Amino acid sequence: MPDEASTNNNLLDIIADPASIIIVKLSLMIGLLVISLDIDLIDGTRTWYPDCLEKPIEGCQFISVEQAYNFYVSYGKKGGFDIRRGGQYKAKGFADATLKYFYCTREGLNQNSNGKSGDNNSDSDITEQSEVSDVSHRFGDVKKKKPRRRTSFRCGCLASLTIKKIGNIFQVTKFEDGHNHPLVAETDMIFMKNSRKMGYTKQHFLYQVSNANFGPAIGFRLMKQLHGGFDRVGTTVIDCKNQKKKISVFIGDRDAQMAVEKLLSRKLHSPGFFVNYFKGEAYIL
């Protein structure tokens, strides 16, 4: 039986020789999530593969685009990555898309400092300035909205799924399973975008909590008590705040009109109820 020193020397000789081995395949277990990792010894790149039994393969068929998307989303939840819809191609004479693409959410690269992807184009800047000056000439000074600064987590991941319509079915023509970024651990999967759903029940609950003069953070804690834990809510406190913002934007400056409509509806259904209102200048209540 060879000693440990000779075994280590042989292993170092194999790794040092690129002709003998190029890719090392490893199998990692993070919690209950099994991940396959390929390491390229030439350039040091790593590729992560979800170790799931149910995965799309080239040649599998789906009835519709939604069925393919839902299957890919379910595979992403088990594998530890998020999915987003990509572009599509519609052939001439067809009502539906003949090619549809789905990507990992980390597909693509970061944008430039000016908020635009690709190289800087002076012609587009001149056109944008002329449009702003034209609007300012007609309606006065217009304050250009400053783009919101937010971090980007895209890293050029090539994982994707492509389906093609053949007859009345959609068939997988290309499937890239490798990711160039670590996959999400099982304990953190509840924070994935595809795992967070703000359904109608939760939206209505937050609306009722808002009517009781409670903020979205308190509403999130109430949902935690109702569901039995933060990991069972299915949303985060940031999602609740965003939902409250959507409600406020939807109402806008119609809050007084909504109050009047509610009182008039009560008057219509309750004969003993009376309400009257007056409008002043510029139809202000």
Q: What is the rounded CA–CA span in Å between residue 168 and residue 64? A: 9
Query: Dihedral sign, CA of 77, 78, 83, 88?
Result: negative
- The Cα–Cα gap between 270 and 226 comes to 34
Residue 70, pLDDT > 50, answer yes
Amino acid at 228: G
Cβ–Cβ < 8 Å for 243, 199? no
pLDDT in tens, 98-151: 899 999 999 988 765 455 554 444 343 434 444 444 444 444 555 667 777 777
* Tens digits of residue pLDDT in 180-237: 888 888 888 888 888 888 888 899 999 899 888 899 999 999 999 998 888 888 888 9
pLDDT over threshold 70, residue 15: no
Angle between helices 216-227 and 237-251 (to 10 degrees): 130
The rounded distance, in Å, linking the Cα atoms of 221 and 224 is 5
Mark 213-250 as b/e (b = at least 16 C-beta within 10 Å): eeebeebbeebeeeeeeeeebbbebebbbebbeeeeee
- Which DSSP state fits 102? E
- Contact indicator for 153, 104 with CB cutoff of 8 Å: no
DSSP category for residue 278: -
